[in-house]
Chain A
Amino acid sequence: MNRRTIRQLTNVLALGLSGLATAIGLFLLGAILWTLIRNGLAGVSLKLFTAMTPPPGGSGGLLNAIYGSVVMTVIGILIGGPVGMLAGTYLAEYGRSARISALIRFVNDVLLSAPSIIIGLFVYELLVVRMGHFSAIAGAVALAIIAMPVTVRTTEDMLNLVPQGMKDASTAMGAYQWRTITNVIYPAARSGILTGLLLAVARISGETAPLLFTALNNQFWSSHLAAPMANLPVVIFQFALSPYPNWQQLAWSGALLITLSILILSISARLVVSSLNSGGRH
């Protein structure tokens, strides 16, 4: 075999392996989705959305867990979202070149990838120990702390995309900076910021570790924010590891539910971005 053939064979082999790696990645996504659909679909019925989590062996649904997840995710994003937007605004506008901004960006990036179980421990020390018991509000705060760095990052990136000319035009009209930001920059970056919020919701709605020691779980219906509250991830965790078939079935259905909603959220966030991009080009 001459050198040329060897080089071409290496090329074909290496590129073939790269294609194989991609196929493995796609296969895994497919395998996970297929498992969820096959095992989860059997338990999907009206009861899943209307009945409480049952005792072992009894029949029931996931209503209290779904409700708890929605409540804590909504409160989490209501706290973490606006605070994150303000911080992102500081980094992109007021403090764009301040020395402290470089440090804040760095720390925010660290928080962005910090283990979520550590955030759970922090909120446990901060709220649960002081209040003396687990509570939904502690769970929501833990989720807010996870949502915040995501929002800071996306807000800063999106505000930076707004053309400097628009900001200058507003300033030239005599507007104060807050007016420029709220009346010109925010509307211009609206879809981008919305995408960031959607991604933050997708991120926190599946989080389990930070809820284990904050919201804990609740077998029953509770709308009391100062009491432990059921939520989908922790219910899935407990039911999947239980020996009871009816609990395991609910765990699979819950898993299907949560994955589908997160995938839909992530895909719609991407659609917003791509409609934004194509809108910009015309």
Chain B
Amino acid sequence: MNTVAAIDPRHAAGQRLRERVFHGATFLAAVLVLALLGGVAVSLLAGSWPAFVHFKLSFLTREIWNPVTEQFGALAPVYGTLVTSFLALLLAIPVSLGIAIFLTEMAPAWLKRPVGVAIELLAAVPSIIYGIWGLFVLAPVLQRHVQPWLIAWLGPLPLIGKLFQGPPYGIGVLTASFVLAIMVIPFISAVMRDVFETVPDVLKESGYGLGATTWEVIWQVVIPYARTGMIGGIMLGLGRALGETMAVTFVIGNAHRIGSSLLAPGTTISASIANEFTEAVGELYSSSLIALGALLFLITFSVIAAARFMLLRLERRALSSV
């Protein structure tokens, strides 16, 4: 059949045309990826324009959020987003590191795969499930057993005591951070496991050969070697935590204020948008919410871009060393 194709000029022309069409279609689809990101940026900018024109820079510096008088400022949600994500990382990093160490250096071969898959499944659970679990299971547990303890023991301390005062609501900034931590653990530990596996065995064996314990090899050989990749994984987790919506919306309490206590209700950018966007009346209100979205886009974009850049550099190094 192919010999016929080579002889028949009309058939050959048809083949060339199909080649051009297919090549063009794949190229268009690939460029669509770029167009999507551009479209997202442009539409967010256009939607938030009225709010930025009206409030100018004060949008970024004011805490007020009053739909009745149409006064809006982004400070409380931005603060909430940053604080919950930071606390979530603080809780998630040690646990993720532990899981990665267990999976790469400790677990016997038959245990590696099932445990690894179970942790990955934790990442597949949709965020709304974390939301209702956080609200109906985790929040009451924290309210009854953890928060009274924090208030009694840490509340009276100078400096950090302020963070743990007030009544135990159950829901609030701390609970949201806990839920976020649980959600990012599988992402961070998966990346850490993958970078730990790129550490050449020869390096580890020379550590053991010098009489180092497993932990000393991990701390002094594996972790320094994998540092860039680990930071990349942490930043990916951070990007995830910053933009997480449904789980936080359930447990943060949705109060547009900056409380000094971590036990008090607060809000984040994504929770504000999820809660208020469909009910926002008036151009200024919805435009302010879209402006919040634009800020979130800017923050997560920089974090994710930085993370990808680091992981990319690591990949190049791995390739060049092969």
Interface residues, chain A, with chain B CB atoms under 8 Å away: 7-8, 10-11, 14-15, 17-22, 24-26, 28-29, 31-32, 35-36, 39, 83-87, 89-91, 93-95, 100-101, 103-104, 106-111, 113-119, 121-122, 124-126, 145, 148-149, 152, 173-179, 181-182, 202, 205-209, 212-213, 216, 233, 236-237, 240-241, 251-252, 255, 258-259, 262-263, 266-267, 270
Whether A29 contacts B121 by the Cβ 8 Å rule is yes
Whether A86 contacts B26 by the Cβ 8 Å rule is yes
Please measure, in the bound complex, the distance between the C-alpha atom of A106 and the C-alpha atom of B310, giving whole angstroms: 12
Residues of A within 8 A of B96 (CB): 21
Whether A90 contacts B15 by the Cβ 8 Å rule is no
Please measure, in the bound complex, the distance between the C-alpha atom of A104 and the C-alpha atom of B5, giving whole angstroms: 36
Of A87, A100, A113, A182, most B-chain CB atoms within 10 Å: A113
Residues of A within 8 A of B167 (CB): none
Residues of A within 8 A of B260 (CB): none
Whether A126 contacts B43 by the Cβ 8 Å rule is yes
A109/B308 contact (C-beta < 8 A), A125-B46, A206-B126 known: yes
B159 at the A/B interface (Cβ < 8 Å)? no
Whether B137 contacts A35 by the Cβ 8 Å rule is yes
Residues of A within 8 A of B127 (CB): 206, 208-209
Given A87-B32, A126-B43, 5 more pairs with CB closer than 8 A:
A25-B119, A125-B43, A206-B125, A208-B246, A259-B125
* Interface residue range, chain B: 35 or more
Please measure, in the bound complex, the distance between the C-alpha atom of A35 and the C-alpha atom of B133, giving whole angstroms: 7
Nearest-neighbour CB distance to chain B for A110, whole angstroms, equals: 5
Please measure, in the bound complex, the distance between the C-alpha atom of A118 and the C-alpha atom of B15, giving whole angstroms: 42
What secondary structure prevails in chain B residues at the interface with A?
A: helix
Interface segment among B56-64, B99-107, B197-205: the answer is B99-107
Nearest-neighbour CB distance to chain B for A1, whole angstroms, equals: 15
Residues of A within 8 A of B101 (CB): 15, 18
Other-chain residue from A108, A216, A241, A263 in contact with B278 (beta carbon distance below 8 A): A216
Other-chain residue from A18, A121, A149 in contact with B99 (beta carbon distance below 8 A): A18
Q: Give residues of chain B (1-60) contacting chain A, Cβ–Cβ below 8 Å.
A: 2, 5-6, 15-16, 18-19, 21-23, 25-34, 36-37, 39-40, 43-44, 46-47
Whether B308 contacts A115 by the Cβ 8 Å rule is no
List the 3 closest pairs (A to B, CB-CB), nearest first.
A115-B243, A21-B98, A206-B126
B72 at the A/B interface (Cβ < 8 Å)? no
Q: Give residues of chain B (282-314) contacting chain A, Cβ–Cβ below 8 Å.
A: 290, 293, 296-297, 300-301, 304-305, 308, 312
Residues of B within 8 A of A267 (CB): 117, 121
Please measure, in the bound complex, the distance between the C-alpha atom of A91 and the C-alpha atom of B120, giving whole angstroms: 27
Nearest-neighbour CB distance to chain A for B246, whole angstroms, equals: 5
Whether B106 contacts A94 by the Cβ 8 Å rule is no
A114/B243 contact (C-beta < 8 A), A29-B118, A104-B34, A125-B43 known: yes
Residues of A within 8 A of B296 (CB): 115, 117-118
Whether A14 contacts B215 by the Cβ 8 Å rule is yes
Whether A86 contacts B121 by the Cβ 8 Å rule is no
Please measure, in the bound complex, the distance between the C-alpha atom of A152 and the C-alpha atom of B29, giving whole angstroms: 10
A240/B132 contact (C-beta < 8 A), A83-B29, A87-B32 known: yes
Which residue of chain A lies nearest to B277 when distances are taken between CB atoms in the complex? Answer: A213
A118/B40 contact (C-beta < 8 A), A14-B215, A87-B33 known: yes
Whether A25 contacts B250 by the Cβ 8 Å rule is no
Whether B273 contacts A10 by the Cβ 8 Å rule is no
A115/B244 contact (C-beta < 8 A), A15-B215, A181-B22 known: yes
Whether A206 contacts B301 by the Cβ 8 Å rule is no
B162 at the A/B interface (Cβ < 8 Å)? no
Please measure, in the bound complex, the distance between the C-alpha atom of A267 and the C-alpha atom of B96, giving whole angstroms: 22
Whether A18 contacts B117 by the Cβ 8 Å rule is no
Whether B126 contacts A259 by the Cβ 8 Å rule is yes
Q: Give residues of chain B (238-259) contacting chain A, Cβ–Cβ below 8 Å.
A: 239-240, 242-246, 250
Which residue of chain A lies nearest to B212 when distances are taken between CB atoms in the complex? Answer: A7
Q: List 7 A-B contacts (CB under 8 A).
A: A32-B133, A110-B308, A121-B44, A177-B22, A209-B245, A237-B128, A255-B128
Please measure, in the bound complex, the distance between the C-alpha atom of A213 and the C-alpha atom of B289, giving whole angstroms: 12
